[in-house]
Amino acid sequence: MTGAERDEVPTSEDAESSEPRRAASARFDVAAESGAAAQLRDAMDPANQSLGEALRLSYRLLQVGIAALVVTFLVSGFQTVDEGAAGVKTLFGAIEGPPGDEVLPPGLHPSWPYPVGQIVTVEMRRLVEVNDAFWPRYRRGEKTLEEATDAADITRHLQPGEDGSLITAGGDLAHLLIQAEYVVEDPVSMMRTLRPDLVPVVVRRAIERGAVAAAARLSLEELTELREAPEIAVLEESQRVLDELGCGVRIASVVLPVRTAPLAVRKNYAEVLTKREQAKTAIDRARQEAAARLTQAAGPVAAADLIRLINEYEAALTLRDDVGADAVLARIGERFAARDVGGESAMIVARAEASLSARRSELAREVRRLQGLLPAYRENPRQLVRQLWLETVREVLAQPEAEVFTVPGGLASVDLGLTSSPDVMQVRRRADLERRKREADQSALTLQPFRLDTRTIMINQAGRRLERDASGGFGRP
């Protein structure tokens, strides 16, 4: 079609203005397509069918996966509470359950899945160790306490921030290790106060604070040597800190396996302990010896009563109570006269009674002799005195060891060179031995004179000296 012909083609406006078209005389129906387009569509039909089947299968699998995820999400809410632990249900972070029944026992329990809900498990009992807070840092080459003690030196000071220590009541430093076991008694209170993972940390800090407070009440000797008091003090102070927090945690036990003075002091502390043990042994030996001497002095029965009475007597003297002191002294005399008094006291009392009886007999004889001489003395006293004097001279000269020398009268002076007879010297020697023996026997029957020595000197208190006539004692005003 040329441009002129194209210009001659009538438009729609021209057709509307022209005459109407004639009816179609023929109609063509296409029953099948042929060519490249038909061949392409025939080739794509199996692919479209496979793709549709694949899409349907994927959709089914997606539905199954979504259902499995939903089931897994719902099942994930089931949790197991192990033995030795307790569980607490939470819903959107809040503890779920009726009051007093929030804690779940060990076993499998349902719950809303996380993050909607959760079962928080709490370990009911756990061991906490404090090994570095109050313990010195070992230097290079030191692995044990003994090695560190051997290498310790007083010139090597403790470094704050590196070496741990405690200050005791006396201002001394000390080192210790702590092992404690705590129990969660109220898991609900614990959950409302602390996170479960922070409980061991809080308990450890409470124990450290309790150890500092307990050491401030004890001396170094008490902290290192007393068996149970330091552990009880640490437990009480630590529990006080936890009670102030209200976290429902109780410290079941506290053990201090190692308690020691600073290592430089510990190095020489063994010698101090040795001397102390020697002192204890000496004290025990002295007590045993004192008990033996008391038993030997007054017997096992009366010794305790006599010591008590003597202490009462000394207390009365110290208080300047003369009446009370005399009354106690009389009781002491009565107690010494009892039948159950034995030992040296009974022997001394027996000797005193024997001496008193002998003196009374001797005085009775003298009284009778004087009563017999009394009439002669009243008749002629001078003659009786001269007669008694001559009898005494004759008795003295009659002794075998006496020697009599007669000097002529009228001499101005006489120089004599005398040599005793061997027989007389032997007699004198025997007589001297017999005299000493009689004096020894006589002293055994009488009380020995009291001698004040360092053992009986008391400073600012009454002594233990008792007078024989019960009139007083040493230290009495």
Q: 134 and 247: one domain? A: yes
CATH of the domain at 130: 3.30.479.30
| Residue 253 or residue 123, greater confidence | 253
- Would residue 32 count as lying in a domain? no
Does the pLDDT value for residue 385 go beyond 80?
yes
Q: 192 and 286: one domain? A: no
- Would residue 243 count as lying in a domain? yes
Could you give the number of structural domains in the chain?
A: 3
Report the predicted TM-score, pTM, of the whole model to 2 decimal places: 0.45
pLDDT band at 242; cut points 50, 70, 90: very high
How far is CA 135 from its chain centroid? 19
| pLDDT score at 4 | 42
Of 121, 150, 173, the position where a domain reaches its end is 121
pLDDT in tens, 81-95: 667 677 676 666 666
pLDDT band at 180; cut points 50, 70, 90: very high
To the nearest whole percent, how much of the chain has pLDDT over 70? 72
Find the domain containing 329 and state its range.
275-334
pLDDT band at 429; cut points 50, 70, 90: confident
| pLDDT score at 450 | 45
Least confidently predicted of 19-23, 49-53, 77-81, 395-399: 19-23
| pLDDT score at 86 | 73
Q: 202 and 235: one domain? A: yes
Q: 226 and 212: one domain? A: yes
- Would residue 363 count as lying in a domain? no
Of 261, 285, 308, the position where a domain reaches its end is 261
Does the pLDDT value for residue 472 go beyond 80?
no
pLDDT band at 473; cut points 50, 70, 90: low
Q: 99 and 227: one domain? A: no
Rounded mean pLDDT, 118-122: 71
Rounded mean pLDDT, 98-121: 67
pLDDT in tens, 216-225: 999 988 998 8
Q: 192 and 291: one domain? A: no
| pLDDT score at 443 | 63
Most confident of 33-42, 104-113, 277-286, 415-424: 277-286
Q: 257 and 136: one domain? A: yes
Q: 324 and 222: one domain? A: no
- Would residue 72 count as lying in a domain? no
Q: 176 and 200: one domain? A: yes
Most confident of 5-9, 81-85, 325-329, 414-418: 325-329
